[in-house]
Amino acid sequence: MKRRRWRKPSKDVPEKEEEEKGGSGGEFMGEAEKDQGETEEQNRGKRRRKTQRGRGGGGEGDRGGGPKPNRMLKDDNGILIESNMCHQCQRNDRGEVIRCTMCKTKRYCLPCIHSWYPGVLKEAFAESCPVCRKNCNCKACLRMEMPIKHKEKLELEFSAVEKMEYSKYILQLLLPFLKQVNEEQMMEKRIEAKLKGVLILFAEALRFCSPYLPVLEIKVERANCQMNERIYCDNCKTSIVDFHRSCPNCAFELCLRCCQELRDGCLQGSDEGNTVEFIDPGPDYLHGVETCPVMGSTKSGMCARQSRTKIDTGMICNAEIENASVDDLALVSQWKSNKDGSIPCPPSELGGCSQGFLELKCLISENEVPELLVRAEKMKKELKLEDVPAISKKWCSCLQFADGPNVSCGNLRKAASRQDSRDNFLYCPKAVELQPEDQKHFQWHWMNGEPVIVRNVLDTTLGLSWEPMVMWRAFRQIKNVNHPVLLDVNAISCLDWCEVDISVHQFFRGYSMATFDSYGWPRILKSKDWPPSSLFEEQLPRHNAEFINCLPFKVYTHPHGGYLNLAGKLPKNFLKPDMGPKTYIAYGFAEELGRGDSVTKLHSHMSDVVNLLTHTKAVDLQPKELLKIEKLKQKHAAQEERELCRDGKTSTMRDEAEKGGMENGDNTDNGEVNHKTRPINTSASGNDVKEGDIRMRGRSKGKNNKAENVERNNLIDAANVDQENQNSPISLEVQRSRDIELEFVDVQSTVESDETSRGGKLDEWKREEIVEVLRNNVADVDSGALWDIFRRQDVPKLEQYLMKHFKEFRHVCCRPLEQVVHPIHDQTIYLTMEHKRKLKEEYGIEPWTFIQKLGDAVYVPAGCPHQVRNLKSCIKVALDFVSPENVGEGFRMTEEFRVLPQNHRAKEDKLEVKKMTYYAMREAVLDLENS
């Protein structure tokens, strides 16, 4: 196997492409392109455009990159004729236009004002047009290069005092990890010295006043690696930072961790893994009709991740299947180190050549790391820095409100109800109220591994539109020499988790209005890595800039200038990981579907992430459509019961319920199905099918109505505690209000009925959550997504629960999971409300649960498992960053990823947190030395 290197692609532009630049009529041509020289064809194109503008009554160069003379036409009498060409649509035949009195050059027709700027009055356009306000959403303005003045705002500037304080902070937090990296390298260097018969004289290290610089009379050869390359270990696929072993004949490379495990006889990370080959049984199976059995376990990847299948077809999902080889396993076990610690090159079947031994190489200068460590220790001593930053020892001031009746005054949001815990409330400030000193407040919660929610972030922006049709016009591309053809979207069907191809127009049409398959089941899609980060920045540069600028705590989140964002510490010419921004577009319904809900399944990131909800659209289902869904839910439930009986199994949940004295079984007399007695379907679920069928059971039982009504009112009042923005305009018809009221009664009564049948009771805040979900769907225009974030310290118990219950979940082709490699990193499980209840019941843990509203920026620390369910169609923009507080989680998760099977989706370490740690420490020490 050849060396696994990633090289940064060349950005050189072919001469032919250079000559063709200039674009088609109507597309913006930036200033940078003009400076490169114009061909005769470009000049002719420009003359044609000028002529066209002249025919329209003159044009001032709306599409140009700089100011152009305002050319007016004259009538037969020599009187100037004012242009009526709309800046948005470039037409002059659409009636009245509103002229801007500020710039005196731009005009907008009334149809465009109503279509693209709803809610903005004509008077506001006359006072200052969208171009003057820098939020024009015409296609040309969306793609234009940023004006120089606005570009300057993208860069952050720090004073010398700020740089010194931040450098101290980085030094305190990262010093232990730099020591860890150095110790691993020094251990390997000592082994190399023994192999070469060189005596290590640690006493001589005293001449350097540090134990980190022992005199090793050996020289480590520097590997031939370019700055724009990333080298991976050929065994575990972990990114190599500095020291490693390499074969001089075939360039097989092995990281230090694998070297250590090979000598200990416990090499990990080379297993190919197993998977299940899923065959798509077609839409009949998805809706409760048994068609064909699932195929058995073979050898594997993570099953059908590259599958491409059309909705409503019976095509086979083409999983990447590889036959397991016993010979390969034998080869791995036979590859051993020698008694003296030397490591032979593995056989060709494992990527080597079986010739010679692996030699010690380095990517950085041989003594760079130990010398940096000496300088860091010296600086720490001179500045009298403690091992831990002082902020971690302080008590957060907002916690004094956590025990009081009025929580909102402390900018807190209740998200859990753990006993004897003070982290049930999350820090939730408003963006417009943040002050510089609030960064210390943020750091306290962040250092403790708590998520942070910043509200109303969009209130700090220029007001660029995130409407789906605006996004569609920006991303859609038919033909242009400056942009690739872009007509299709790579999307995931949330019903069977297979990839589908759909046109951009159809995708955004389904975002705003419900579409159904032939069975009457809602078709829910979400974008899959679309558009790519580079395309988002290219096609929507103004949105990209506005997103980066509006994020609070920019010292952490800014991708290039954030001083505490370690991702920006890598040298400019280095191959950097893709940190975003990334756009996530998904359909969603507040009504619980059970199968096919719009979810992001449980997973965790090696890096920190901030997720901003920029747009929501409520898609209501009609009563006739809901009736079809309810009938299909019953078929789904019956199908799952049949599959359990066919396999000769009983539900784990049913067995545990019987042990707890709960009432089980199916009541076929009145058509009820007790869904708590079957495996929970999380192929894309939110709170499982229980909520939908709960209503049916509630109507049939209908007891204790008076008590239920009282409790329902209490729940609604409790749900209102977190509604701090009650001034949102909500206009509902009287009849609809009554329907909502009845729905609340229905849900509340059936939830309590369901609890009684189990002999248990949901926590009050969990029942509030169910009511709040429905309430937000019809009343709160800002609600968007339901988040569950788990604490890091709860991860071991969470993994135990998932390994115990994984067969109760569904994934590709809506088939039950047959196996799990890693219950979190596989990203194949979504915990329903029932599973979250049982998780707390069995293991005593629960997540932070809250609803992300429009304009909310959710900060999720690295290593915190989380899942999301969209209550409405949502557009979110996310950005990864690496904070010094969470470097330890990056180290831990790097180790978790390296032991995953070779074909696992999370296998490769593209973040390179160890490399970031080194360069961040180098910059911090240098700044402190120069201050």
Give the C-alpha separation, 602 to 854, whole Å.
Answer: 22
Would you say residue 657 lies in a domain? yes
Among 633, 871, 875, smallest CA distance to 775 is for 871
Say whether both 395 and 371 belong to one domain. Answer: no
Among 594, 602, 585, 584, smallest CA distance to 522 is for 594
Say whether both 369 and 395 belong to one domain. Answer: no
Would you say residue 585 lies in a domain? no
Residue 207: domain span: 160-273+324-377
Maximum mean pLDDT: which of 198-202, 502-506, 633-637, 890-894: 890-894
Give the C-alpha separation, 930 to 158, whole Å.
Answer: 15
Say whether both 167 and 44 belong to one domain. Answer: no
Contact 742, 623 (CB under 8 A): no
Last residue of a domain, one of 805, 836, 853: 853
Confidence of residue 733 (pLDDT cuts 50, 70, 90): very low
Mean of pLDDT values over 544-568: 92
Q: Is the pLDDT of residue 38 over 60?
A: no
Mean of pLDDT values over 825-844: 92
**pLDDT at residue 216 in the model:** 52
Last residue of a domain, one of 833, 853, 873: 853
Would you say residue 524 lies in a domain? no
Would you say residue 226 lies in a domain? yes
Would you say residue 288 lies in a domain? no
Q: Is the pLDDT of residue 639 over 90?
A: no
Whole-model pTM: value is 0.75
Say whether both 84 and 184 belong to one domain. Answer: no
Count the domains in the chain: 4
**CA geometry: angle at 207 spanning 201 and 212, to 5°?**
65
Give the C-alpha separation, 559 to 250, whole Å.
Answer: 37
Q: Phi and psi for 109 in degrees, rounded to 5?
A: -80, 155
Contact 505, 562 (CB under 8 A): no
**pLDDT at residue 300 in the model:** 34
Tokens matching residue 82 = 């004012």
Would you say residue 188 lies in a domain? yes
Tokens matching residue 10 = 């060349």
Identify which has the larger pLDDT, 740 or 254.
254
Maximum mean pLDDT: which of 289-293, 407-411, 465-469, 532-536: 465-469
Tokens matching residue 297 = 């376990």
Write the pLDDT tens digit of every residue in 738-770.
344 444 444 444 444 444 444 444 455 445 544
The count of C-alpha atoms lying within 13 angstroms of the C-alpha of 658, restricted to the half-sphere facing its C-beta, is: 9
Q: Is the pLDDT of residue 774 over 80?
A: no
Among 825, 604, 852, smallest CA distance to 722 is for 852
Mean pLDDT of the chain: 73
Q: Phi and psi for 125 in degrees, rounded to 5?
A: -65, -40
Strands (DSSP E) found in 590-723: 599-603, 608-617
Say whether both 139 and 203 belong to one domain. Answer: no
Give the C-alpha separation, 481 to 277, whole Å.
Answer: 42
Q: Name the helix (H) or strand (E) containing 755.
A: helix 734-758
**pLDDT at residue 537 in the model:** 79
Q: Name the helix (H) or strand (E) containing 538.
A: helix 533-539
Mean pLDDT is lowest, of 28-32, 84-88, 345-349, 851-855, for 28-32
Contact 606, 862 (CB under 8 A): yes
Burial (CB count within 10 angstroms: exposed 0-12, middle 13-18, buried 19+), residue 149: exposed
Say whether both 172 and 107 belong to one domain. Answer: no
Confidence of residue 401 (pLDDT cuts 50, 70, 90): low
Q: Per residue, what are the HEC states of 33-53? A: HHHCCCCHHHHHHHHHHHHHH
Would you say residue 509 lies in a domain? no
What single-letter amino acid sits at 203?
A
Would you say residue 126 lies in a domain? yes
Mean of pLDDT values over 102-115: 88
Say whether both 329 and 202 belong to one domain. Answer: yes
Q: Which residues have a Cβ under 8 Å from the Cβ of 802 and sit 6 or more positions away?
A: 602, 820, 823, 824, 829
The count of C-alpha atoms lying within 13 angstroms of the C-alpha of 719, restricted to the half-sphere facing its C-beta, is: 22
Mean pLDDT is lowest, of 283-287, 578-582, 778-782, for 778-782
Q: Please tell me whether residue 679 adopts helix, strand or coil conformation.
A: coil
Report the b/e string of 860-871 with b at 16+ CB within 10 A. Answer: bbbbbbbbbbbb
Tokens matching residue 582 = 């990334």
DSSP conformation class of 387: S
The count of C-alpha atoms lying within 13 angstroms of the C-alpha of 900, restricted to the half-sphere facing its C-beta, is: 26
Q: Which residues have a Cβ under 8 Å from the Cβ of 339 and sit 6 or more positions away?
A: none
Say whether both 222 and 117 belong to one domain. Answer: no
Q: Name the helix (H) or strand (E) containing 751.
A: helix 734-758
Say whether both 354 and 402 belong to one domain. Answer: no
Last residue of a domain, one of 405, 437, 457: 457
Strands (DSSP E) found in 761-810: 783-789
Say whether both 235 and 345 belong to one domain. Answer: yes
Say whether both 127 and 178 belong to one domain. Answer: no
Q: What is the largest CA-CA distance in the chain?
A: 103
Mean pLDDT is lowest, of 148-152, 480-484, 567-571, for 148-152
Work out the angle between the directed axes of helices 764-778 and 833-843 (0-180°, nearest 10): 160
Identify which has the larger pLDDT, 313 or 225.
225
Identify which has the larger pLDDT, 660 or 229.
229
Say whether both 47 and 164 belong to one domain. Answer: no
Q: Is the pLDDT of residue 89 over 90?
A: no
**pLDDT at residue 55 in the model:** 41
Q: Which residues have a Cβ under 8 Å from the Cβ of 569 and sit 6 or more positions away?
A: 916, 919, 920, 923
Write the pLDDT tens digit of every residue in 311-360.
333 333 434 434 444 455 555 677 888 888 899 998 888 888 888 899 99
**pLDDT at residue 80 in the model:** 63
Identify which has the larger pLDDT, 164 or 767.
164
Mean pLDDT is lowest, of 39-43, 120-124, 194-198, 579-583, for 39-43
**pLDDT at residue 530 in the model:** 75
